[in-house]
Amino acid sequence: MNEINTDVLVIGAGLTGLTLAYKLHRAGIAVVLVDKDQHTGGVIRTISENGFTFEAGPNTGTLSNPELVELFESLGEKCIPVTGRKEAHRRLILKGGRWRALPSGPVSAVTTPLFTLGDKFRILGEPFRAPGTNPDESVADLVLRRMGRSFLDYAIDPFISGIYAGDPRKLITRYALPKLWKLEQDHGSFIGGSFAKAREHRSERERKATKEVFSVQGGLQRLTDALASELNPERLFTGCTPAVVRPDQKGFMTVLSCTAGIKRGIRSEYVVITAGAHKVPEILPFISPDLLAPLTALVYAKVVQVVVGYKEWTGQAINAFGGLVPSKEDKDVLGILFPSSIFDGRAPEGGALLSVFMGGMRNPTLTEMSDQELGPIALSMVKKTLNPVKSEPDLLHIFRYPHAIPQYEISTGDRLKRISEIEAQYPGLILAGNMRDGIGMADRVKQAVRISEELKVKIRH
Helix (H) or strand (E) holding 429: strand 429-431
Cα atoms in the Cβ-side hemisphere of radius 13 Å centred on 11: 30
Q: Are residues 343 and 353 in the same domain?
A: yes
Q: Report yes or no: 408 and 176 within 8 Å, Cβ to Cβ.
A: yes
- CATH label of the domain that carries residue 18: 3.50.50.60
pLDDT tens digits, one per residue of 294-308: 999 999 999 999 999
Question: Exposed e or buried b for every residue in 140-169, given b needs 16+ CB within 10 A?
Answer: bbbbbbbbbbbbbbbbbbbbbbbebbbbbb
- CATH label of the domain that carries residue 137: 1.10.3110.10
Q: Give me the DSSP letters along 292-355.
A: HHHHHT--EEEEEEEEEEESS--SS---SSEEE--GGG--SEEEEE-HHHHSTTSS-TT-EEEE
Domain boundary residue, one of 200, 235, 261: 200
Q: Are residues 336 and 241 in the same domain?
A: no
Is-above-0.85 flag for pTM?
yes
Q: Report yes or no: 246 and 70 within 8 Å, Cβ to Cβ.
A: no
Residue 317 CB neighbour total at 10 angstroms: 9
Number of domains in the chain: 3
Q: Are residues 415 and 453 in the same domain?
A: yes
pLDDT tens digits, one per residue of 415-448: 999 999 999 999 999 999 999 999 999 999 999 9
Task: Return d(Cα 122, Cα 116) in angstroms, integer.
Answer: 10
> Which of 126-130, 229-233, 284-288, 453-457 shows the lowest per-residue confidence on average (mean pLDDT)?
126-130
Q: Are residues 371 and 391 in the same domain?
A: yes
pLDDT of 259 over the 80 cut: no
pLDDT at 196: 86
pLDDT tens digits, one per residue of 321-355: 999 999 999 999 999 999 999 999 999 999 999 99
Q: Are residues 252 and 282 in the same domain?
A: yes
Q: Are residues 402 and 413 in the same domain?
A: no
Q: Are residues 330 and 231 in the same domain?
A: no
Confidence of residue 87 (pLDDT cuts 50, 70, 90): confident
**Residue 428 located in a structural domain:** yes
| CB neighbour list of residue 195: distance below 8 Å, 6 or more residues apart | none
Give every strand in the sheet of 322-324, ordered side by side: 98-101, 91-95, 322-324, 333-337, 352-359, 300-310, 395-406
Report CA torsion sign: 449, 451, 457, 459.
negative
- CATH label of the domain that carries residue 369: 3.90.660.20
Mean pLDDT over each residue of the chain, to the nearest integer: 94
pLDDT at 1: 65
The domain in which residue 163 lies consists of 115-200
Q: Are residues 387 and 426 in the same domain?
A: no
**Residue 189 located in a structural domain:** yes
Question: Exposed e or buried b for every residue in 331-347, given b needs 16+ CB within 10 A?
Answer: bbbbbbbbbbbbbebbb
**Residue 109 located in a structural domain:** no
Q: Report yes or no: 288 and 52 within 8 Å, Cβ to Cβ.
A: no
Q: Are residues 292 and 430 in the same domain?
A: yes
| CB neighbour list of residue 331: distance below 8 Å, 6 or more residues apart | 94, 325, 381
Task: Return d(Cα 218, Cα 81) in angstroms, integer.
Answer: 9
Amino acid occupying residue 90: R
Cα atoms in the Cβ-side hemisphere of radius 13 Å centred on 58: 27
In eight-state DSSP terms, residue 85 is: P
pLDDT of 108 over the 90 cut: no
Q: Are residues 165 and 190 in the same domain?
A: yes
Q: Are residues 365 and 429 in the same domain?
A: no
Task: Return d(Cα 443, Cα 182) in angstroms, integer.
Answer: 17
Domain boundary residue, one of 376, 391, 406: 406
Residue 289 CB neighbour total at 10 angstroms: 9
Query: Can you tell me the mean pLDDT for 276-302?
Result: 96
Q: Report yes or no: 432 and 273 within 8 Å, Cβ to Cβ.
A: yes
Q: Are residues 242 and 312 in the same domain?
A: no
Domain boundary residue, one of 382, 406, 430: 406
Query: Can you tell me the mean pLDDT for 401-424?
Result: 97
Residue 420 CB neighbour total at 10 angstroms: 11
**Residue 357 located in a structural domain:** yes
Query: Can you tell me the mean pLDDT for 130-141?
Result: 95
Q: Give me the DSSP letters along 347-378.
A: S-TT-EEEEEEEETTT-GGGGGS-HHHHHHHH
Task: Return d(Cα 461, Cα 439) in angstroms, integer.
Answer: 32
Confidence of residue 315 (pLDDT cuts 50, 70, 90): very high
Query: Can you tell me the mean pLDDT for 71-98?
Result: 94
pLDDT at 319: 93
Angle at the Cα of 33 from the Cα atoms of 30 and 38, rounded to 5 degrees: 150
Coil/strand/helix, residue 147:
coil
Helix (H) or strand (E) holding 251: strand 251-257
pLDDT tens digits, one per residue of 52-73: 999 999 999 999 999 999 999 9
How would you class 362 by CB atoms within 10 Å of its CB: exposed for 0-12, middle for 13-18, buried for 19 or more?
buried
**Residue 47 located in a structural domain:** no
